[in-house]
Each structure stands twice: as structure tokens, then as C-alpha cells.
Amino acid sequence: MRVVSGIKPTGNLHLGNYLGAVKQWVSMQDEIQQQGGETLYFIADLHGLTEWIAPAELAANTIEMTATLIAAGIDPERSVLFNQTRVPQHSELAWLLNNVARVGWLNRMTQFKDKAGKNREGASVGLYDYPVLMAADVLLYNGTHVPVGEDQKQHLELARDIAAKFNLDYGTELFTQPEPMVSKAAPRIMSLRDASSKMSKSNPSVQARVNLIDDDATIAAKFRKATSDADALPQDVAGLADRPEAKNLVTIYAALADVTPEQVIADHAGQGFGAFKPALADLAVATLGPIRDRMVRLLDDRAEVSRLLDRGAEKARDLAAPNLLAAQRAMGLQI
């Protein structure tokens, strides 16, 4: 078993990333390694380029994201932790896979449609090709399991199609079909302002997301001001069905406390949001505060964080090189 996943350094790590993906990364680090498998996690700085970002911001975010992952529990001694750019095989395999992926497949990607919006002609080619680089990220290591939020599932289905077509076209068994592992507890955390849109790094309202870098008072204030309804919490989870804001807050509570939504409802049924939101704020501060404090300490020495990425990249290159070579040879490229 080999677990592979990545995160873009286009902003700070937020609660959606943490509950939807990174918490799973940490628990898989223990589980998979006990079974003799490996975990590889990376900062997708090349994906960060697909929408404009100031160079200094991208550079700083890459270091900050790395520190946040370590603070959240990713151990660079036990997991291979690196950034894409320092492992050039990602870009090289992406080019090979560009010749396997079909335009029709990419045209169906909902993330491209959402991000490009009405101005498709003005979107970067990188934004369109984004899922092919993502397939390369995983196939390069023959990743078997990919822990992600629900929004990335379609991209991983494409990676499976690319792997199958490559194997078929070139008469090989080279690529393994990766399995997306969508978090059951928090597949899709929604904005704290508007429960019809997901919590994201790109939402212009800072109130919509809780960042792991936020101080305690900010975290608490964001939960106290979160949009909710006027009713009390229902007697069972079925009562949350038509109440998206309430459902989102209960989901967040459950995921933070590592309990089921049923358990949260059993403990808080009948409570109004005037009481539930402060309880959620306390829980979030107690859970996220120590991660932030560790991150801030790690960022005292940014050069050391960069050295950790270098060491991780060295290990990743050793794993990637033979697979890239095998793909090149299968295609008839002379190396």
C-alpha cells in the first residue's frame, strides 16, 4: 500500500483542508506504516501556478504549508514530505500523460468549469491541464490510496482512466489504479457564511473559513458569527436534512471531536445555537490552537523547514525515477 496526496500552497491551510484531508493523512501515516506501507505527502506548488499568485506569496506559502502539515502531525521522518518542484519527474510524467488523456475527458471536469467561469478563453492552459499533472503526481509513485475531500474525486477518477488507457495503449501493467479515499467524517466542509458553497482558500470573505493560522480569538469569533438558523438542534440527525448551516456546524463539531454526528446530536439535542456555537468555538480553539502554536515555532527557522523539504524530495526522487524511466521506455523514448 502506498498513500499519496497533495495540497496547493495558494493560501493557508483551512478547516476544510484539515478535516477533509490532512486529518486522514495523519491517521493513515500510523495505520499504513504499521502494515508495512508508505505515505507520501507533497505541497502542490506547480498546481499553485494555475491561477495567478504573486511569486513571493507562493514561496512563503510553500514553507508555511509545510510547517502547518508538520504541526498537524505529518512526521517528515516517517512520511515522505516534499514539494512537487523539487521532484522534476512530476512534470516529466505529466507531459507523457498529456498524450494519453483525451480533450473530451478534461472537458468534463467540473473544477475547471467552476474556476474558469464564463471566461474560458482567458483561463490558463495549466488550469485546463491541472488534472493530468494530478494524475502524474499519483501514478509516478504507483499510489494505491489517495486521501482527499469529495471535490477531488472526479480528478482521481480521471487518473484511473489515464492509468488504464496507458496500460492498454502500451501493452503494459505499469500503472496501478489509485483508489480515492474520501473522508467519511468531513467529505465537504461548507463556508461558515453560506452553506451552499464549500469552504475554500479562494472565498473572498475571511469570515467564511477558519485558517489554522488564526489566533484563538479569531477562531472563536468566526464560529460565534457563523450563519445558522433560529431553531434548536433536532432530536435526531434526520432533522438536519433541510438545515444546511446546522448540518455543517454539527459535521464540524463531530469531525473535530472524533465522534459521530449522532453522538453530537445525542449530547446537544434541544440546544439553541446561542449555546452550541460557543461550545463549538471552545472545541475548535482547544483542537486547533496547539497546531498553530507548533507551526509558529517551526516558522522561527524557515531555512530548516526548507531543508526538510529538500530531504523529502531526495527520497521522492529515488522512488519516482525508476517509474518514470519505465514509462518512457514503454512509450519508445530513448533515454
Return the residue nearest ligand TYM (CB atom). Answer: 20
Q: Is the dihedral of CA 147, 286, 222, 60 positive or negative?
A: negative
Stretch that binds ligand TYM, among 52-60, 92-100, 134-142, 260-268 (CB under 6 A): 134-142
**Binding flag, residue 89, ligand TYM (CB under 6 A):** no
Out of 2, 3, 7, 40, the residue judged to bind ligand TYM by CB under 6 A: 7
132 or 264: CB nearest ligand TYM: 132
Q: Which residues are catalytic, by number?
A: 115, 198, 201
In one letter, which amino acid is 104?
Answer: G
Neighbouring C-alpha atoms within 13 Å toward the C-beta of 319: 23
**Binding flag, residue 186, ligand TYM (CB under 6 A):** yes
Only one residue has cell 459521530, namely 260
Q: What are phi and psi for residue 240, nearest 5 degrees? A: -95, -5
Query: 190: annotated binding-site residue?
Result: no
**Binding flag, residue 86, ligand TYM (CB under 6 A):** no
Closest separation in Å from C-beta 188 to ligand TYM: 5
Out of 2, 23, 198, 292, the residue judged to bind ligand TYM by CB under 6 A: 198
With residues binned 3-state (H G I as helix, E B as strand, rest as coil), the percentages for the chain, rounded to 5, are 60, 10, 30
The helix/strand/coil state of 17 is helix
DSSP 120-142: GGGS-HHHHHHHHHHHHHHHTTT
Closest separation in Å from C-beta 36 to ligand TYM: 22
16 touches 198 (CB < 8 A)? yes
Where residue 71 falls (left for φ over 0; alpha for ψ -120 to 50; beta otherwise) is: alpha
Out of 63, 72, 134, 288, the residue judged to bind ligand TYM by CB under 6 A: 134
Out of 40, 49, 192, 199, the residue judged to bind ligand TYM by CB under 6 A: 199
Residues 17-36 that bind ligand TYM (CB under 6 A): 17, 20-21
Beta bridge partners of 14: 211
Query: 198: annotated binding-site residue?
Result: yes
Instruction: Collect contacts of 191-199 with beta carbons under 8 A, ≥24 apart.
Output: 192/222, 192/223, 192/225, 192/226, 192/227, 192/248, 193/226, 193/227, 194/227, 195/227, 195/244, 195/245, 195/247, 195/248, 196/244, 198/16, 198/151, 199/14, 199/15, 199/16
Closest separation in Å from C-beta 73 to ligand TYM: 15
**Binding flag, residue 151, ligand TYM (CB under 6 A):** yes
Closest separation in Å from C-beta 320 to ligand TYM: 13
150 touches 187 (CB < 8 A)? yes
Query: 293: annotated binding-site residue?
Result: no
The H or E element spanning position 24 is: helix 23-34
Query: 189: annotated binding-site residue?
Result: yes
Closest separation in Å from C-beta 232 to ligand TYM: 26
Give the residue numbers of the binding site: 8-10, 16-17, 137, 149-151, 189, 198-202
Give the residue numbers of the binding site for ATP: 8-10, 16-17, 149-151, 189, 198-202
Interface with ligand TYM (CB under 6 A): 5-8, 16-17, 20-21, 44, 47, 134, 137-138, 146, 148-149, 151-152, 186, 188-189, 198-200
